[in-house]
């Protein structure tokens, strides 16, 4: 944004006296993204802060932009029927609308800060309410390097960061049932001096229903234990399958589950340096797109984006992570709902 436009946005959102709350404001952005840009500033008390400022009109254009993309994809016939474009676009529209609400993001960030306050190895920056609004979010400025830079560090550090990222992902889903679903590597900044992963950008955070999480944990355990019957049963309960699929579709779906469950299948460290998970999922995904009878549940779009992001981060790091031990710890402490039913085939083994 030009300086004059930036000042107009800040005046409109924070009032014309916003600059009196700061000792300095850097008009050169620290970073820029599709919906806004980030500027460094210093508070009166000396705290360095990051001010995320949304581009004018972004929130108002989401629906029309997505509809235009959908029309283009429909016209070019590039998207296979098994992708269920209408459902995917509906979910994308809802997610983008939430991400444009910086007051919601501030609330999400405070919630994460509270949830992780007792967990070593993670830090969530303070939100500065006094100079924040629906289109401006001001937070404590933190340091650290993103995941792709951590990949250049020693093996012990890479293992530590990979383990923490996967443990955080499992905690978010199965302990908090509240997950930051954007796995962008720049949202996880590792501070080597304090051995802490600083977490930023909570616009894509969302809750997951208890019943969904109950059954999803059962399905993950079934995948880890190579239990075909339990994978199919849980997939039907969750809405991934209808019960009328062809054997080709069932086999591809189950095998995809086993591939994702592989890191959790055996005790000891799983070596992400030699994995072919992404290629295997890509091959099976092509079959599922051709034979799928129903779109996945809405929760799956954001959840699977985050889970795949956690795996890709571990692959990028070349980390060795005790995945099964992390999953078993979650499973053994998990409290299923009263309607959990029985599923002996998904037992821990």
Q: How far apart are CA 14 and CA 54, in angstroms?
A: 13
With contact defined as beta carbons under 8 Å apart, do 167 and 142 qualify? Answer: no
Which position among 74, 182, 191, 339 bears the catalytic label?
182
Q: How far apart are CA 267 and CA 262, in angstroms?
A: 11
Report phi then psi at 193, rounded to 5. Answer: -65, -35
DSSP state of 127: B
Q: How far apart are CA 85 and CA 72, in angstroms?
A: 12
Locus of tokens 């591809």: 252
Distance of CA 142 to the CA centre of its chain: 20
With contact defined as beta carbons under 8 Å apart, do 122 and 199 qualify? Answer: yes
Q: How far apart are CA 222 and CA 19, in angstroms?
A: 56
227 catalytic per annotation: no
State the pairing for strand pair 205-207/31-32: unpaired
Paired residues of 320 in beta bridges: 271
Q: Is 145 in a helix, a strand, or coil?
A: strand
Q: Give the pair of three-digit tokens for residue 334.
A: 């998990």
DSSP state of 339: T
Q: Give the pair of three-digit tokens for residue 90.
A: 């509906």
Residue 22 vs residues 45, 127, 183, 226: alpha-carbon distances, Å:
9, 15, 32, 57
Q: How far apart are CA 268 and CA 274, in angstroms?
A: 15
Q: List the catalytic residues.
A: 182
């Amino acid at each position: 944004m030009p300086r004059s436009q930036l000042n107009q946005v800040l005046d409109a959102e924070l009032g014309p006296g916003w600059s009196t709350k700061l000792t300095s404001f850097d008009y050169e952005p620290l970073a820029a993204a599709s919906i806004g840009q980030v500027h460094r500033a210093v508070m009166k008390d000396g705290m360095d802060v990051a001010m995320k400022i949304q581009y004018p009109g972004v929130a108002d254009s989401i629906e029309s932009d997505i509809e235009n993309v959908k029309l283009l994809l429909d016209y070019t016939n590039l998207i296979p029927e098994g992708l269920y474009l209408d459902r995917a676009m509906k979910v994308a529209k809802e997610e983008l609308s939430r991400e444009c609400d910086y007051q919601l993001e501030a609330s999400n960030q405070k919630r994460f800060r509270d949830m992780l306050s007792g967990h070593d190895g993670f830090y969530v920056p303070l939100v500065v309410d006094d100079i924040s609004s629906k289109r401006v979010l001001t937070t404590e400025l933190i340091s650290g390097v993103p995941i792709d830079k951590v990949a250049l560090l020693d093996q012990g550090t890479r293992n530590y960061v990979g383990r923490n990222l996967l443990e955080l992902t499992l905690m978010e889903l199965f302990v908090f049932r509240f997950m930051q679903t954007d796995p962008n590597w720049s949202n996880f900044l590792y501070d080597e001096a304090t051995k802490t992963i600083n977490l930023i950008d909570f616009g894509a955070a969302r809750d997951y229903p208890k019943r969904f999480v109950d059954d999803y944990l059962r399905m993950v355990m079934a995948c880890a234990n190579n239990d075909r019957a339990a994978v199919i049963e849980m997939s039907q309960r969750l809405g991934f399958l209808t019960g009328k699929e062809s054997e080709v579709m069932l086999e591809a779906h189950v095998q995809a589950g086993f591939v994702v469950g592989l890191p959790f299948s055996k005790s000891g460290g799983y070596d992400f340096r030699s994995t072919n998970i992404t290629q295997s999922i890509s091959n099976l995904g092509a079959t599922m797109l051709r034979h799928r009878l129903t779109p996945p549940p809405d929760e799956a779009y954001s959840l699977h984006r985050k889970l795949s992001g956690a795996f890709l981060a571990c692959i990028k790091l070349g980390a060795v992570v005790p995945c099964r031990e992390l999953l078993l710890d979650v499973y053994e402490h998990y409290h299923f709902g009263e309607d959990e039913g029985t599923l002996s085939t998904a037992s821990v083994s």
